[in-house]
């Protein structure tokens, strides 16, 4: 179906929608509230926030131009209450300033690959579908997964699979890819899956799909996801005014570990150990709104399988050190 005729509301079911709305509601209800949807996607979370809070403005960021187009049609009825920005989410500071604001009241991150990207076979994100090995969230720039497989030395491939896929067979897979590309370029997901399957011991193949972690690792490398995340979340927290709230949904352990550590650090006192009185400048900047990571309930998991791996964490700014 042509991108010009697709309905974003039929392509994507927002994950943990009601919980996100509840966590962001106190911030969204403020006079002239501004919330950044740092991963706009097809606009499901933003649409629900704008419907629930008539005075709210949402700045929606996405690196995927196709997603921005679909979201734009879905959100057109809200007029200038929604500002769409073609940007990677570590550009959140620039996006907020250029939208005419200095501080924000809330931010939502729904990390990982969107339904649009997963369901479009030509994007190459899914190992279950044979497609060109692209994997770029923004198809207007950057190297593709096929480019990396064609040029990366064995050591780099192994490092990618180990760091971003936590793949115990990283070395074996890297060697297999180097050997295979001597015969022909690895341009399609089906080729890569076949190479990985042949390089995997039978006992391991019986336990899990050999391609899952490698495809995750390549996607993260192509899009610089972890390095972007490590810049984006601190920048977003710094933009929040007192009482502002951050809600972050992660779908794999590397993302969630970073978010967990950062929120724990920003919600802890910085007072030196043994100090008899905690001075105001040592008080925590944030308070946690969730106990650990929240998961989707059984009903949502059954309705929407993409909610199965989600881990939600949230925090509220309680002190502004500026």
93 and 15 housed in the same domain: yes
Model's pTM, two decimal places? 0.86
214 and 261 housed in the same domain: no
Q: Is 12 known to sit in a ligand binding site?
A: no
Q: Is 299 known to sit in a ligand binding site?
A: no
The predicted-structure confidence for 185-239, as pLDDT tens digits, reads as follows 999 999 999 999 999 998 888 888 889 999 999 999 999 889 999 999 999 999 9
The predicted-structure confidence for 103-123, as pLDDT tens digits, reads as follows 999 999 999 776 555 555 666
pLDDT at 12: 65
Mean pLDDT, rounded, of the chain: 90
Q: Is residue 116 part of a domain?
A: no
82 and 132 housed in the same domain: no
99 and 247 housed in the same domain: yes
169 and 200 housed in the same domain: yes
Q: Is 139 known to sit in a ligand binding site?
A: no
**How far is the C-alpha of 35 from the C-alpha of 283, rounded, in Å?**
25
Detail the DSSP E strand segments found in the chain.
34-37, 57-62, 82-86, 104-110, 240-250, 286-288, 311-317
**How far is the C-alpha of 224 from the C-alpha of 237, rounded, in Å?**
20
Q: Is residue 185 part of a domain?
A: yes
128 and 202 housed in the same domain: yes
Q: Is the pLDDT of residue 253 over 50?
A: yes
Residue 171: CB partners within 8 Å, gap ≥ 6? 158
174 and 206 housed in the same domain: yes
**How far is the C-alpha of 82 from the C-alpha of 46, rounded, in Å?**
8
Q: Is 122 known to sit in a ligand binding site?
A: no
30 and 86 housed in the same domain: yes
The predicted-structure confidence for 27-78, as pLDDT tens digits, reads as follows 999 999 999 999 999 999 999 999 999 999 999 999 988 889 999 999 999 9
Q: Is the pLDDT of residue 10 over 60?
A: no
Q: How many other CB atoms are found less than 10 A from the CB of residue 102?
A: 9
**How far is the C-alpha of 190 from the C-alpha of 114, rounded, in Å?**
21
Residue 159's CATH number: 1.10.150.170
pLDDT at 82: 98
Q: Is residue 273 part of a domain?
A: yes
- Answer with the residue of higher pLDDT: 138 or 315: 315
Q: Is residue 93 part of a domain?
A: yes
206 and 229 housed in the same domain: no
Residue 117: CB partners within 8 Å, gap ≥ 6? 64, 123, 125, 137
Confidence band of 2 (pLDDT split at 50, 70, 90): very low
229 and 82 housed in the same domain: yes
59 and 197 housed in the same domain: no
Q: Is residue 3 part of a domain?
A: no
70 and 88 housed in the same domain: yes
Q: Which domain-ending residue is among 200, 223, 246?
A: 223
Bridge partners (DSSP) listed for residue 109: 248
Q: Is 117 known to sit in a ligand binding site?
A: yes
Q: Is 197 known to sit in a ligand binding site?
A: no
pLDDT at 124: 66
pLDDT at 126: 75
Q: Which domain-ending residue is among 195, 223, 251?
A: 223
Q: Is residue 53 part of a domain?
A: yes
The predicted-structure confidence for 224-244, as pLDDT tens digits, reads as follows 889 999 999 999 999 999 999
Q: Is residue 138 part of a domain?
A: yes
Strand order in the sheet with 57-62: 82-86, 57-62, 34-37, 104-110, 240-250, 311-317, 286-288
Domain that holds residue 103: 8-110+225-317
Q: Which domain-ending residue is among 178, 203, 223?
A: 223
Question: In total, how many domains does the chain have?
Answer: 2
């Amino acid at each position: 179906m042509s991108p010009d005729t697709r309905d974003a509301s039929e392509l994507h079911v927002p994950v943990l929608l009601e919980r996100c709305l509840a966590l962001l509601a106190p911030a969204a209800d403020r006079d002239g509230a501004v919330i950044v949807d740092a991963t706009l996607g097809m606009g499901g979370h933003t649409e629900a926030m704008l419907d629930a809070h008539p005075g709210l403005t949402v700045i929606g960021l996405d690196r995927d131009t196709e997603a921005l187009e679909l979201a734009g049609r879905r959100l057109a009825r809200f007029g200038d209450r929604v500002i769409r920005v073609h940007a990677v989410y570590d550009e959140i500071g620039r996006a907020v300033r250029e939208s005419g604001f200095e501080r924000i009241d809330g931010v939502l991150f729904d990390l990982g690959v969107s339904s649009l990207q997963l369901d479009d076979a030509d994007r190459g994100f899914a190992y279950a579908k044979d497609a060109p090995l692209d994997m770029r969230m923004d198809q207007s720039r950057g190297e593709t997964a096929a480019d990396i497989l064609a040029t990366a030395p064995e050591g780099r491939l192994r490092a990618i699979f180990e760091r971003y896929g936590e793949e115990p067979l990283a070395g074996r897979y890297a060697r297999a890819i180097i050997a295979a590309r001597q015969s022909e370029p690895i341009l399609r997901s089906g080729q890569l899956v076949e190479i990985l399957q042949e390089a995997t011991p039978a006992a391991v193949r019986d336990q899990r799909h050999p391609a899952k972690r490698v495809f995750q690792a390549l996607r993260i490398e192509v899009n610089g996801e972890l390095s972007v995340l490590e810049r984006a979340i601190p920048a977003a927290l710094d933009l929040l005014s007192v009482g502002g709230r951050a809600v972050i949904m992660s779908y794999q352990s590397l993302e969630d570990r970073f978010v967990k550590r950062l929120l724990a650090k920003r919600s802890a006192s910085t007072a030196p150990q043994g100090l008899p009185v905690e001075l105001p400048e040592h008080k925590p900047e944030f308070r946690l709104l969730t106990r650990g990571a929240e998961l989707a309930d059984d009903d949502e998991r059954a309705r929407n399988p993409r909610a199965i791996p989600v881990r939600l964490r949230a925090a509220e700014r309680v002190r502004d050190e500026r």
